[in-house]
Amino acid sequence: MTAGMREAHEWQPDHLRLAVAAAGVALWAWNVDSDGFTMDRQGFELWGLPWRDSVTFEELSAHIHPADRDRVRAGFQATRAMLGPYETDFRIMIGDEIRWVSARGQGADVGIVGRTMFGIFLDVTGRKQAEEGHELLAGEMGHRVKNLLAIASGLATISSRSATTIEGLVKELTDRLSALGRAHDVVRPIPNDQGNAALLGDLIAVLLAPYDDLGAFKGRLRVAVERTGVGHASATGLALVLHELATNSMKYGALSSPTGTLDISSSAEGDDVLLTWLERGGPEVKSPGEAAGFGSKLVRRTVGGQLRGAIDYDWNESGLIVTLRMNRLRLAS
C-alpha cells in the first residue's frame, strides 16, 4: 500500500464529524443510572429543541407522539437485555409537524463506557411517508380489483342469461368489460380539487369511440355536456350504462339507420346532473314494456345501485329520449 493510500484511509476526527453531518446522523449518549441524555447539535435540531448540555429521557419523551410514547419507553429499557443491534422507529411532534425518528444502538450493554450507552438518531420521515403511500396505494388497488371482479362476475351472469350462443356470450361479455377498461383508462387527476376523475365529456367520447370506428357516427354524434368530474367508482357504472344504450341504439335505434343522429347533453338541477340521451332519425321505437331484456335490467340496477341515481325512458315516436339523473357529489366519487 502506498503512502498516499495510507493517508486516504487515516480518518481524522474532523472527517468523521463531516461524514456524520452529511449523513444526517444525530449522536446520543444515555446514562443508564441517571437516565440523562446528551446529544450533539444535530440531535437537538432533529428533536426541535434548543441546544443544552443534556436532557432527561422524560423531557425527550414529552415530545414523542402519545401513541408511541409507552412503547418507546419500554423499548429503551428492554434494550439493555436485548442481544445484538436494535432499531426502534417512532414519531415525534415538533409543533404541528410530525417527524419519524429511528433510534439505533447495541443491546446487552455492548459498548457501554462507565454507565453510558451510545447510539444514533436518524430522521426517517421521508421513508415512512413513502411506506404509508405504498400501503394506501396497495389498499386502494386491492379495493378496486375486488370491485372489478365483483362487477365482472355480475356481467358474466347477466350476459349468460341473454346470450343464445357461446360466440354471442363471449362478444357481449368482452364488449362490456372493454367499456369498463376504457372508462378506467381515462380517469386521471384533474384541476379545481376534483381529485382523480375523468371529465364527463372525455369519458363519453372515449366510451363511444368504438362505434365511431365502425362508421356509426361520422358527425352524427353531438356531445354538449358541462365540465364536471366523474370519479373512479361512478366511471365504472356510467361506462356500463352508456355502453348498453349505445349497443341498443346500434341494434334498434338511431345508430342503426344511416340518417340517425344522437345528441348527448347535460343540465344542472340543484345538486343533480341531468344527462340527456336523444336519438332522432332512426326507425320507429316502441316501449319494450315488461319484456325488457337483461341489458335494460343491468342499466337500471347500475343507475340505482352504483350511481345512486334514476333513469327515465321516453319511447317517443320520433326517437328514444333517456334522462339520467345523478347526484353531483356521487358522480365525482
Lowest mean pLDDT among 10-19, 39-48, 241-250: 10-19
Name the residue type at position 63: H
Give the neighbor-by-neighbor strand order of the sheet with 196-199.
Answer: 188-189, 196-199, 229-231
- Of 74 and 322, which is predicted with more confidence? 322
Which pLDDT belongs to residue 132?
75
Instruction: Please determine, for residue 276, whether its predicted confidence score (pLDDT) is greater than 90.
Output: yes
Comparing CA positions, the residue from 277, 183, 192 lying closest to residue 234 is: 183
316, 300 in Cβ contact below 8 A?
Answer: no
Which pLDDT belongs to residue 197?
61
Task: Decide: residue 181, CB within 10 A, 0-12 exposed, 13-18 middle, 19+ buried.
Answer: exposed
Lowest mean pLDDT among 30-39, 41-50, 117-126: 30-39
Instruction: Please determine, for residue 123, whether its predicted confidence score (pLDDT) is greater than 50.
Output: yes
Which pLDDT belongs to residue 23?
74
Instruction: Please determine, for residue 110, whether its predicted confidence score (pLDDT) is greater than 80.
Output: no
Query: b/e per residue, 95-124, with b = 16+ CB within 10 A?
Result: eeeebbbbbebbbeeeeeeeeebebbbbbb
Which pLDDT belongs to residue 30?
81
Query: Considering the chain, what percentage of its residues have pLDDT values greater than 70?
Result: 75
Question: Where are the chain's structural domains?
Answer: 3-123, 129-331
pTM for the structure as a whole: 0.47
Instruction: Please determine, for residue 212, whether its predicted confidence score (pLDDT) is greater than 60.
Output: no
- 155-182 average pLDDT score: 67
Question: What superfamily would CATH give domain 3-123?
Answer: PAS domain (3.30.450.20)
Question: What superfamily would CATH give domain 129-331?
Answer: Histidine kinase-like ATPase, C-terminal domain (3.30.565.10)
Lowest mean pLDDT among 47-61, 100-114, 145-159, 248-262: 145-159
Chain centroid offset of residue 325 CA? 27
First CA to last CA across the chain, in angstroms? 68
43, 122 in Cβ contact below 8 A?
Answer: no
Which pLDDT belongs to residue 265?
92
Any idea which residue has 365504472 for its cell? 236
- Of 134 and 210, which is predicted with more confidence? 134
Which pLDDT belongs to residue 264?
92
Which pLDDT belongs to residue 215?
45
